[in-house]
Structure 1
């Protein structure tokens, strides 16, 4: 279900929000200042000329390979529609994956197949969601003949390991970037994709399919700040802090009897030792992410938060699970 998501809900913004993968060190000061100083009185350049040049220079690619998008989810929907328009009928995604891949496929009546070789559209994500690990089938999938998209939403928040695809392979797949999580600005929607070297025709099609001004002034400001040196230095420092917090959070969970799965990102999945009283936790301002909709029932995905939040979670779980203890 695409409607299931981390972050704020009908009860507002959780005080202790473990349900989102946003950078808990954020918001990034440079990016926040840029967004606050954006000019909302005027339309951005409809071609996003300067932004596309800046993004291309940051990644070391030609500007013609850049496609801007209202968000990662908007791009997922748009490229799915584009594949269908060119005769695509089938799609593949990992067993554990972001729900919008399936949502877009269902909206356009694409059939999910188990064999990547039979798919017209294929999805990868590294670090993956919900696990935060490398995709075991990445190399095999990237070599297929269909349209392959690598979702890199969590690459800027990788705390260990490295992408399993080398530079030569990356030039053969679409790379989808959505930096708002890394910058701690998830409320600002804006993303972009880098077309493969042989994907320029599809890039042009996707640009023609976009609505007018898919990015507003605030998204342009965020993405412009994203490639600046000050922002990248802040991000590197935040990864050091997140790694320390993650070590403590994993130790806290394991000490309380949780079974933690491996992760290379700023989040991890774990199974609680006892059933959780989700309503009671939410009433205390604590929100977790049930990973059932991501293909992993019986587990929770927890974003890495500071030690104070970890202690609140630990105490609350102990209190709210007393009545379920044998």
Structure 2
């Protein structure tokens, strides 16, 4: 960081810290004296955060992970949009307007997070913000897009012209997955509640299924697509075991069932996760195991994937869907809204009051 820049950045900042295990209202604290991490290693940037986004995994980790495994205290949240104040990477420069994320491995090592006035981040998970969207529209893109990209292309090897089924089409990951698949010419079938049908169809979904009208696996068994789906993406992080165990009826041989997470809300879902692992990796088919591949997906540190998303946005082929925007001091209210599971798109916290 240059001497001129160093004098323009304060030594401390306001940030939301995860200090203990529990619900956000108990486990988070707004601290006015959090040090600004201005010393950069190679391949890092310091960003003045304009807006940050919340992900369901944020509050689930707060409730489930003991402090010894979580690196607490640390700044909460992962996704952000902002302006680069300093960079040790020639690809991202001072003054660039960017969006990106701080993934858990970096967060655990550095105690950095997005819900702060300034954030240090690796450039591998940062890209230039397309100028046709605002910081609040860009803030929630990185994790969900990297997750959807990993699920569809790195894990499931989805190809142009194939057929994709998305369970949870109105979730943030589902919204990203539908658009990524349509961008390469795939046919997409997606589920959501009836109130979200218009949103899901507006993303390019070819066939919509209202999951509130009956078990989705039964609907698919009675109306199996021709040809069968090449990829099924469980985008909500919900352990929907029947959708997997009945998938031979509607998932093509050699097809892949990909699950986001899964992210159990509590001990009640752990036995279902164990059954998933048993069915997918242990139980042989001659004992009734499912003759289809089940895989987990996670976001990867791949800058080129974020750059591809930015290109699609610039070309009008991908849109950011924002559910709601909260002020920085009201972050706990934002978490409460995320925990209702009713958000359609991303819940954003405006860190800089002047940000669009």
Same-fold status (TM-score > 0.5): no
After TM superposition, the score normalised by the length of structure 2 is 0.29
Q: Which has the higher contact order (CA 8 A, sep 6+)?
A: 1
Q: Which has the higher strand share?
A: 2
After TM superposition, the score normalised by the length of structure 1 is 0.31
